Structure 1
Amino acid sequence: MTQSDFDHWQERFAGEEYRFGTAPNAFLKSQAHLLRKGHTALAIADGEGRNGVFLAEQGLDVLSLDFSPNAQEKARKLAQERGVTLRVEQADVINWSYPPNTFDVVAAIFFQFATPPERETIFTGIKRTLKPGGLLLLEGYTPKQLEYKTGGPSKIENLYTREILEQAFADFSSLDIRFYEAVINEGLGHGGMSALIDVVGVK
């Protein structure tokens, strides 16, 4: 990412309030029954930590990755307030190393700032860093989100279709992809009727 990208995210996460709230993403929360205490989890583009902290609250050993020190300062604060341990690493999620066979769970919630080539790099990293049998929990917006304008990118090529996700994770042992529309309420950043796509995948 460029300096202008860095400045954009730093500005976005400046201030006391949590841009996307402090509650976990609803889809991630709905999959809590799949999580196991003691497992390792990677939360990519975790921002102010709402999802990483939730995973830690379920008893997982969590690494929260994000580009913005402002966001991560709030993530640490949220973890402290909730009484959990959260490992935090400042990183460009596009160019991070994604060490092989390291994590039991990867949470990839709304990181649609990535262009198609960048997205391909991240998806490759996710597949590499998940252990065999590891769990992918991914949520994003579909192209219909451009009609709602309630969050997410304005570029259609950054949005997910079933074909993009089936192709990216074709080698997984199982892949459950669901499309739906729902009202979400995630702080100032995401609010209102939204066109969503969820993935529960097992490597």
Structure 2
Amino acid sequence: MDEHSDPGKFWDQIFAREADRYGHAPNDYLRLASGMLKPGSRILSLGEGEGRNAIFLMSLGHQVTCVDASPVARDHALRRIAQQFPGRFVDYQVIDLSLTLPVGSFDAVVSIWCHLPSRIRQRVHAALDTWLLPGGIFICEGYTPDQVRYGTGGPTDLDMLYEPSAIRNELPLNLEVFQKVEREVLEGSRHDGLSSTLQIIARRV
């Protein structure tokens, strides 16, 4: 079983063995970039996992639609969300992005560590122009190919990493922030240490 052949089962096995794999706190870059979201935004969160980023966004008053390939991650996320926001409905869709894409119109799309094979990632990025309403923003952080040398998290398959020039060419949006950074990432047991990441804020005009 590998992430390419059946991502749902691959991540089910991982999250079944190790709940809270990436901790409970939201991603640091998302926390910083969230100030650019308009109040009460409708947000699509790709690769949401166990819900930490969705819970943060919901705490700010946003409405979040979550997408992930793993039913186990969804179940963990919905339990967490129910504890934080009793009785509040969350649309959490189990979707293999290699087979289908979510539908809808959103004020923002969030992609934090949503590493996909490049052929699938290109389809996802092309869909941003459809998902985002005019003025909507894309908030993204992903590991760059240099991350393989650090060994502090993320995939080792270079095709799944965020090579800046390739990502720049894929995005059908106006780039407002597009920076390769070296920073400490401390998120649970699997993102732990100095890392090379690509941080993006892009807008549909």
For the criterion TM > 0.5, the same-fold answer is yes
For the 8 Å contact 2:174–2:203, the answer to whether it is kept is yes
Aligned mates of 2:32, 2:91 — CA distance in 1: 23
Match of 2:45 in 1: 43
Aligned mates of 1:132, 1:168 — CA distance in 2: 19
Give the count of matched residue pairs. Answer: 200
Match of 1:139 in 2: 141
- Indicate yes or no: 2:102 matched with 1:105: no
For the 8 Å contact 2:44–2:65, the answer to whether it is kept is yes
Match of 1:91 in 2: 95
Match of 2:192 in 1: 191
For the 8 Å contact 2:4–2:117, the answer to whether it is kept is no
TM-score, length-scaled by structure 2: 0.90
Aligned mates of 1:109, 1:128 — CA distance in 2: 19
Aligned mates of 2:8, 2:175 — CA distance in 1: 36
Q: Which amino acid aligns with 1:124?
A: A
The aligned runs of 1:58-69 (5 Å cut-off) are 58-69=60-71
TM-score, length-scaled by structure 1: 0.91
Q: Which amino acid aligns with 1:118?
A: I
Specify the SS of the correspondent of 2:137: strand
RMSD of aligned alpha carbons: 1.8
For the 8 Å contact 2:20–2:188, the answer to whether it is kept is yes
Deviation per CA, 1:97-134, whole angstroms, max 9, x where unpaired?
Answer: 3436x00010001111x111111111112232111111
- Indicate yes or no: 2:164 matched with 1:154: no
Partner residue of 1:79 out of 64, 78, 81: 81
For the 8 Å contact 1:36–1:59, the answer to whether it is kept is no
Specify the SS of the correspondent of 1:13: helix
Relative to structure 1, the CA distance from residue 11 to residue 173 in structure 2 (aligned partners, 3 Å threshold; closer, same or farther) is same
For the 8 Å contact 1:98–1:126, the answer to whether it is kept is no
- CA drift of 1:189 comes to 2.0
For the 8 Å contact 2:51–2:78, the answer to whether it is kept is yes
Relative to structure 1, the CA distance from residue 193 to residue 64 in structure 2 (aligned partners, 3 Å threshold; closer, same or farther) is same
- CA drift of 1:139 comes to 0.5
- CA drift of 1:39 comes to 1.5
For the 8 Å contact 1:98–1:125, the answer to whether it is kept is no
Aligned mates of 1:90, 1:98 — CA distance in 2: 10
Question: Structure 2: which 5+ residue stretches go unaligned?
Answer: none
Aligned mates of 1:21, 1:176 — CA distance in 2: 26
For the 8 Å contact 1:35–1:58, the answer to whether it is kept is no
Identity %: 28
For the 8 Å contact 1:94–1:122, the answer to whether it is kept is no
- CA drift of 1:153 comes to 1.0
